Amino acid sequence: MFELAPIKAVLFDFDGPICDVFAGYSAPSVARELERVAGRDSGIDDPHEVLRNAAGSPVLDAVEDALVAAELTAVESAVAAAGGLESVRVALDAGLRVGVVSNNVGAAVERFLFRVGMAGPVWPVVGRPYRAPERMKPDMWPLETALDAIKVERAEVVFVGDSRTDVEAAKKSHLRCVALANKAGKRAMFEAAGADAIVDDMDELRESLEAL
């Protein structure tokens, strides 16, 4: 357990801390579909990186629309992360503002939150800017948009993510970042990136939130 106070808001990344978006519709499969739309074979298994590679090209619109459709389908079979929804509930019960800042499309995040009965309490939801992949994290735009909405001092906001781009975005926006090291090698990566705290699972975060 680690110290979170003072804190008034928690912003969560979506895929990883809250759920496994592509549990039933694998990310590599989606990436292959996007490559077919783009008409190029990159060998990249991350759909968001395929989208980034389409930036500035004539196929961007088609790749973006295909990814939106895939994510909306994927969240129907997404699996909640162990301790993730519990952490959200504990934060809400503690009277904290809880939002989501994701590189997934906002409509997919909202669809999942509706499935689990959190569509109202969790706000704001800031998803991927439409057809503007250059503004995805690690760009500051997603977190800055959320901060503008919640009107909470940065020193009292914590961002929870599971990727290097999450840590980089948090540092750019001068937010404390809790990094979820849910795969081998991530802890060392997060230490190098300067994460403020690193947890191996979301139950560790839940315990720290309960201590508030």
pLDDT tens per residue, range 142-177: 999 999 999 999 999 999 999 999 999 999 999 999
All CATH 3.40.50.1000 domain ranges in the chain, comma separated? 9-20+79-210
Q: What is the model's pLDDT at position 55?
A: 97
Task: Tell me the pLDDT tens digit for each residue of 52-62.
Answer: 999 999 999 99
Strand 79-80 and strand 19-20: pairing?
antiparallel
pLDDT score of 3 more than 90:
no
Res 127: pLDDT: 98
CATH architecture assigned to 9-20+79-210: 3-Layer(aba) Sandwich (3.40)
Is the pLDDT assigned to residue 92 strictly greater than 80?
A: yes
The alpha carbon torsion through 69, 104, 113, 80 (nearest 10 deg) reads: 100
- For the full predicted model, state whether its pTM sits above 0.85: yes
**pLDDT for position 122:** 98
Q: In 40-138, where do the E strands start and end?
A: 79-80, 97-101, 125-126
The answer, yes or no, to whether residue 35 has pLDDT greater than 80, is yes
